[in-house]
Amino acid sequence: MRTSDLIDVLCADPRPHRLSSPFTVICLGVLLSSAIVVVIALAWLGARSDLVQIVIEGDLTFFIRFAFIISVMGAALICLRDLAVPGRRMRLPSVIALLPFVLMGVLGLLELVGASFEKWPGQAAHEPWLSCLSQIAALTVPAFAIITLALRRLAPTDLRRAGLYIGLFSGGIGAMAYVLCADGHSIGFSAIAYTGAIWASAVLGLILGPRILRWT
């Protein structure tokens, strides 16, 4: 829609409309998508039988993975909040969103260095690479759709970047739900598989952003 056409439409409909703040719209989308994805994951995969135990005992590996995912989602949410408002500059530098991935990669390398070289092939072979990637990807889809619908109610102008952060956030939701259901994995596996699944969603959002977020 051209700017002149948009002005004509607005002038032709002078009735006041109640507008929700961008932050409220995004938060509603976040809460709704998170709840739906977690419910789907629990119904599909089932919760870990030892989930309560590892939380009580403070399993370090579990909390590292969970903290990684939450930090990815938090950075993406802050960026989405700014991208939803035309003309607003992103308060969070894009490089900050990469820090969780860098830190997770460093922890994964440290874990590999601490393990004996002979155990690497066996450890990698026993990790469920395909099921992890496919299940996180499947759980990402409903979150991606809901967050996209929420942002379409707003006015993002940098559609590619907005699509990228929709993908990052949605991938984080899918990974979060997967962590609640999957048995414990090593940090090295999580650094590769979780990162791969989340960035696949981000790249998809980057590609589809101009199509799914454009004004019609």
Distance of alpha carbon 125 from alpha carbon 132, whole angstroms: 13
Distance of alpha carbon 164 from alpha carbon 55, whole angstroms: 32
CB 175 within 8 A of CB 100: no
86 pLDDT exceeds 50? yes
The candidate with the shortest Cα–Cα distance to 194, out of 215, 169, 180, 174, is 174
The angle, 0 to 180 degrees and rounded to 10, between the axes of the packed helices 22-44 and 129-152 is 150
Helix (H, G, I), strand (E, B) or coil at 48: coil
Task: Quote the percentage of the chain above a pLDDT of 90.
Answer: 45
pLDDT at residue 103, as a whole number? 94
pLDDT at residue 119, as a whole number? 53
C-beta atoms surrounding 108 within 10 Å = 18
Summarised one tens digit per residue, pLDDT across range 33-84 is: 999 999 999 999 888 877 888 888 877 888 899 999 999 999 999 999 888 8
CB 171 within 8 A of CB 91: no
The candidate with the shortest Cα–Cα distance to 186, out of 134, 122, 140, is 122
CB 61 within 8 A of CB 186: yes
Give the residue ranges of DSSP H helices in the chain: 3-12, 22-44, 51-57, 60-83, 99-114, 120-125, 129-152, 159-181, 187-212
- The overall average pLDDT reported for the chain is 83
Summarised one tens digit per residue, pLDDT across range 191-213 is: 888 999 999 999 999 999 999 98
